[in-house]
Structure 1
Amino acid sequence: MFKAKERKGPSTPLKSSSAQVQLHSTEPYPHRLNFYDLPPIFDVTLEEFESAALARLRILAEIESSFVRNRSYDELKAVTKTQCDKYLTLNANSASTCDLQGERRRDHVGHFVLRLAFCRSEELRRRFVKAEMMLFRVRWDSDDTREREAFLSSRDFDWVPVDDKEKEMYKTQLMAVPSNIRPQDLEAHFKKDKYYKVRWTRVPDLVEKRRVFLKGGWAYVPAREQSSMVFQEFQTNLEKALEMTAKALPRLDEDTRLLPILNNLSQGFLAGVPSEWLSSSSSAAEGGGIKAEEVDELARKHFPMCMRNLHESLMRDRHLKHMGRLQYGLFLKVLGLSIDEAITFWRRSFSKITDDKFNKEYRYNIRHSYGLEGRRANYPAKSCQQILMQDQPGPNESHGCPYRHFSEDNLQSALLASYAPHGLTAADLPEIMHTVRAGHYHVACTRVFEITHARSGGVKKGEGVGGGESVTHPNQYAARSRELEKARLEKAESERDAMVVDG
């Protein structure tokens, strides 16, 4: 297998005393929390290079979606933890039966690969830092107290402890700082609290909220606000590291193995979609599962807007141009349409042409997409990222993403025409269009899924397609919709059987 050895130059941030702690620890990763001071200095296979980055990107993309959807911190924390458990597990030291070093190595590698991918522009750096900051905060809040203290002890944060004499000198001012402590408890808390001095520029969030006492350029920070200092330190270190990485990035231009991966990662992050969704049952589904005559009903009930648009265009015009046929055909393939049923479906749909023309101009391409002609490659369905970023539709073409490629008026009309029977109303459109205008197209699609499955599938706002996860693939949308319908029908049948027994 090819190996891509990480270079120390592009990814090395400012030196920190904690680097020495990590170098001389008995394990490479003694703590669950990590400031990522040292880049990987070991060989990394291309497979690990890409898979670790994609796993982390899924988490960061969902965090961004939470920002867009104005989720509360508790909701964001729950969604992030669910995603981490699924894609990027990171257990505490107390989980002795887990491969802690393997988990932390994967986390470490993924972080530095994304640094390489997202250091290229100011916008990417800003979004990356914001999402990484939130991931660190979620991990901080969920970490074991003793392990968190051990992590803090391993680093030199250059905080100046305030001695008792100085603390007593500014007692009145320190106790006057706004806090959540009840007035009658202030004296007791003041006596036992520790205070640290840092330059006020290192805690701008606390200064903004007036949670610290300022004197001579110093901010007096109580220990209860310690986390803010840690978060600010993490952000500052990461911002400096990204700037250094950006300056050294041209050295990677010669490596044709890594650049395509990095470009794909950065494009996915800009689109807000981390990667392709892979169904565990997609391979089996390609052998059969649905009939040609079932597609029309499935389209009305279960398809996302991009595939509904393609289906309706096909039914209206009795034809689709090449890119539309490719996007829709691969979607139907993964949905479960066998090659024989696919030929039947497309022949019926192209009803304005003769059998001879169909066999000469279209049959081969259908078989080719199923891996039965040409290179015999098993082509996957296009993901949201590919639909958004590749092969933009031109005049009289129906492929692409309606949330991105339709005008606002056309999109709103199409949404109501397609999903009004499933519960979407005009009152829902402002929220959806707000996310569209902000460029978060997959969030808009996810919100449509929630609205249209609230009544029939019991989906609540914020749940997405499950566990708070956003839509990242048209087949993911359709598969989850069908699962919800199946569960609803099974529940209804069970209730009917129970009524018959009771009767």
Structure 2
Amino acid sequence: MFKGGEKKFTLNDSGSPHVVQHGFLKYPTRLNFYDDAPLFDISIEEFETAAIDRLRILAEIESSAARNRTWEELKTVTNAQCAKYLPLNSNTAKNNDIESERRKDHLGHFILRLAFCRSEDLRRRFIKAETTLFKVRYEGDVFSEREQFLNSRDFNWVPVTKAEKQEHWNELLSSYHGSKIEAERRKAFEAEKYYKVKWTRVPDLVEKRRVFLAGGWAFVPGREQSSIIYHEFEVHIEKALEITARMLPRLDEDTRLMPILDNLSQGFLAGISSEWSNPAGENADELKAEMIDDLSKKHFPMCMRTLHDSLMRDNHLKHFGRLQYGLFLKVLGLSVEEAIVFWRKSFSRITDDKFNKEYKYNIRHSYGLEGKRANYPAKSCLQILTPGPSDHGCPYRHYSVENLQSALLSTYSHRGLTSADLPEIMAQVKAGHFHVACTRVFEITHSSRGVKKGEGIGGGESVTHPNQYAARSMELDKPQVEGEAMVIEA
């Protein structure tokens, strides 16, 4: 599966690693049941990229379900995420490396199998998200390519003959859902093809009474054929995950893979975010130390607002809280010179000599100006959600119910959040969807800026990084500020 020293690893059908020769797979269609493991060599970097980009999409699918989005809304958001992180173009697309796209899709699926096979809960969530992704792709696929995919597999359905259809005519017609106009419905029914499958393969259609049952068989109209395919996909992935789980202990000896898989399995907790960077040094010239307090009240997510308030109250922050908040401000656009001014003013109870000796070096170090001169990124929601001291964790996860509700009202009441909004937010918290709760708070507190429920930080995307939250909030505020300035000048 990846290159490491002289060995080249891949995954066999059970999901366990073994050494192989160079291989190459063709992908005739975009739709894939992922029957065969990828048989090609990759680097650790490609391993991580393929998995993380796919996990971004699956995490957003689960977030959409938690936010009760309609099917059409979910499709819109999922397609937008796929276009950004995991594009799959049709065979007729020009100027696209179709093989490379499908290879990445194939690879990412199998890597996430390894990450999410290790518990019943992870398997259940992975199967649900993957099946939803398959449904979105199936509905949006080109008809000819979808037919090519269906013809490439044996779905073990039996076409219903004309004689059988005639025999059960009345029963089939009564269960047929179509136009409310009887003449149109009957005409569509007469032209409809039917397939027989064991009723256990279409439980959703049985539940909705959309099929006729006879002798243990379900008579499925062609328009409902997709239900057979979706159920087949779900069962196929479930069996594959169970096999992979039994084989996973073989990977324990590989110290390179297990940490990556451990991190990936946490991906549903807060979505997946790339290292957030400040595009082209935006705000670098305009963000000053004296502006931070006001910005925190208007634009900071609750985790950073909590750190800021603690700093203002105590004139001090513990090391990890200081590191987390300092990197957040750095990426927000605060220069190192202004950062030194900000922290010196905030640490007002100590002398200049103590500040210069114990804190100034660390500030410059976080900007890559001391030590190994690394450009440290700000922490993402996933990193912040990792259990730790309450002064630098995620309030939605680490606060008690009572404290969280009080903190939400005291922090955001001036931005339009009321007690009537709390039940919806707390329901997401209790379900473990912490980043969804934060996203909903963003929507509520920015409704006056035109943000509607379900839009998230834009395009339906959920909050996955504190800087993402703050940057979007500041961006939404700019048009109004500029408009007000124009009115004053006039």
Place the TM-score, normalised by the shorter chain, in its bin. over 0.9
Letter in 1 for 2:266: Q
CA distance in 1, matches of 2:209, 2:433: 34
User: Is 1:345 aligned to residue 342 of structure 2?
Assistant: yes
CA distance in 1, matches of 2:26, 2:488: 59
Distance 1:27 1:401, change over 3 A: closer
Distance 1:441 1:146, change over 3 A: same
Distance 1:495 1:137, change over 3 A: farther
Match of 2:137 in 1: 139
Does structure 2 retain, via aligned residues, the 8 Å contact 1:118–1:266? yes
DSSP-derived class of the 2:438 partner = helix
The alpha carbon displacement at 1:2 in A equals 4.4
The alpha carbon displacement at 1:434 in A equals 1.0
C-alpha deviations, 1:337-392, integer Å up to 9, x for none?
A: 222221211111111112222222222222222223333322211110000015x1
Distance 1:285 1:6, change over 3 A: farther
DSSP-derived class of the 2:464 partner = coil
User: Is 1:219 aligned to residue 223 of structure 2?
Assistant: no
Which deviates more, 103-112 or 354-363?
354-363
The alpha carbon displacement at 1:288 in A equals 5.5
User: Is 1:243 aligned to residue 236 of structure 2?
Assistant: no
User: Is 1:411 aligned to residue 404 of structure 2?
Assistant: yes
User: Is 1:444 aligned to residue 457 of structure 2?
Assistant: no
Q: Write out aligned runs for 1:46-195 (5 A).
A: 46-182=44-180, 183-195=182-194
Does structure 1 retain, via aligned residues, the 8 Å contact 2:3–2:9? no
CA distance in 2, matches of 1:419, 1:246: 44
CA distance in 1, matches of 2:102, 2:167: 45
The alpha carbon displacement at 1:285 in A equals 5.3
CA distance in 2, matches of 1:92, 1:106: 15
Distance 1:102 1:150, change over 3 A: same
CA distance in 2, matches of 1:378, 1:222: 59
Select 1:284's aligned residue among 281, 304, 313: 281
DSSP-derived class of the 2:165 partner = helix
The alpha carbon displacement at 1:198 in A equals 0.7
Distance 1:295 1:493, change over 3 A: closer
The alpha carbon displacement at 1:190 in A equals 3.1
User: Is 1:326 aligned to residue 323 of structure 2?
Assistant: yes
The alpha carbon displacement at 1:493 in A equals 5.2
C-alpha deviations, 1:426-456, integer Å up to 9, x for none?
A: 111111111111111111111111111110x
The alpha carbon displacement at 1:75 in A equals 0.8
CA distance in 1, matches of 2:428, 2:301: 17
Does structure 2 retain, via aligned residues, the 8 Å contact 1:178–1:210? no
Letter in 2 for 1:357: K
DSSP-derived class of the 2:213 partner = strand
C-alpha deviations, 1:89-112, integer Å up to 9, x for none?
A: 111122133211111111111111
Which deviates more, 115-124 or 366-375?
366-375
DSSP-derived class of the 1:220 partner = strand
Does structure 2 retain, via aligned residues, the 8 Å contact 1:64–1:272? no
Letter in 1 for 2:92: S
Does structure 2 retain, via aligned residues, the 8 Å contact 1:276–1:385? no
CA distance in 2, matches of 1:125, 1:79: 23
Does structure 2 retain, via aligned residues, the 8 Å contact 1:442–1:470? yes
CA distance in 2, matches of 1:37, 1:454: 46
CA distance in 1, matches of 2:130, 2:344: 50
Letter in 2 for 1:98: N
Does structure 2 retain, via aligned residues, the 8 Å contact 1:268–1:275? no
Which deviates more, 140-149 or 223-232?
140-149
TM-score, normalising length: structure 2: 0.93
Select 2:374's aligned residue among 373, 377, 380: 377
Q: Write out aligned runs for 1:395-410 (5 A).
A: 398-410=391-403
Does structure 2 retain, via aligned residues, the 8 Å contact 1:9–1:248? no
CA distance in 2, matches of 1:191, 1:178: 10
Number of aligned residues: 479
DSSP-derived class of the 1:205 partner = helix
Match of 2:20 in 1: none
Match of 2:460 in 1: 468
Does structure 2 retain, via aligned residues, the 8 Å contact 1:292–1:337? yes
The alpha carbon displacement at 1:491 in A equals 4.6
CA RMSD of aligned residues (A): 2.1
C-alpha deviations, 1:97-129, integer Å up to 9, x for none?
A: 321111111111111111111111110010011
Match of 1:16 in 2: none
CA distance in 1, matches of 2:369, 2:283: 13
User: Is 1:263 aligned to residue 262 of structure 2?
Assistant: yes
Does structure 2 retain, via aligned residues, the 8 Å contact 1:161–1:196? yes
Does structure 2 retain, via aligned residues, the 8 Å contact 1:10–1:244? yes
The alpha carbon displacement at 1:78 in A equals 0.9
CA distance in 2, matches of 1:113, 1:485: 41
Distance 1:275 1:297, change over 3 A: same
Select 2:470's aligned residue among 459, 475, 478: 478
CA distance in 2, matches of 1:149, 1:493: 58
Does structure 1 retain, via aligned residues, the 8 Å contact 2:275–2:378? no
Distance 1:5 1:285, change over 3 A: farther
DSSP-derived class of the 1:54 partner = helix
CA distance in 1, matches of 2:242, 2:142: 32
Q: Give the fraction of aligned pairs with identical amino acids, expressed as a percent.
A: 64
Which deviates more, 90-99 or 183-192?
183-192
Q: Write out aligned runs for 1:22-41 (5 A).
A: 28-41=26-39
The alpha carbon displacement at 1:59 in A equals 0.7
The alpha carbon displacement at 1:297 in A equals 1.1
CA distance in 2, matches of 1:272, 1:372: 31
Letter in 2 for 1:421: H
DSSP-derived class of the 2:42 partner = strand
C-alpha deviations, 1:64-108, integer Å up to 9, x for none?
A: 111111111111111111111111111112213321111111111
Which deviates more, 271-280 or 40-49?
271-280
Match of 1:15 in 2: none
Which deviates more, 194-203 or 357-366?
357-366
CA distance in 1, matches of 2:25, 2:87: 18
The alpha carbon displacement at 1:27 in A equals 7.5
CA distance in 2, matches of 1:495, 1:196: 68
DSSP-derived class of the 1:197 partner = strand
TM-score, normalising length: structure 1: 0.91
Which deviates more, 352-361 or 471-480?
352-361
Give unpaired runs (5+ residues) of structure 1: 13-22
Does structure 2 retain, via aligned residues, the 8 Å contact 1:212–1:220? yes
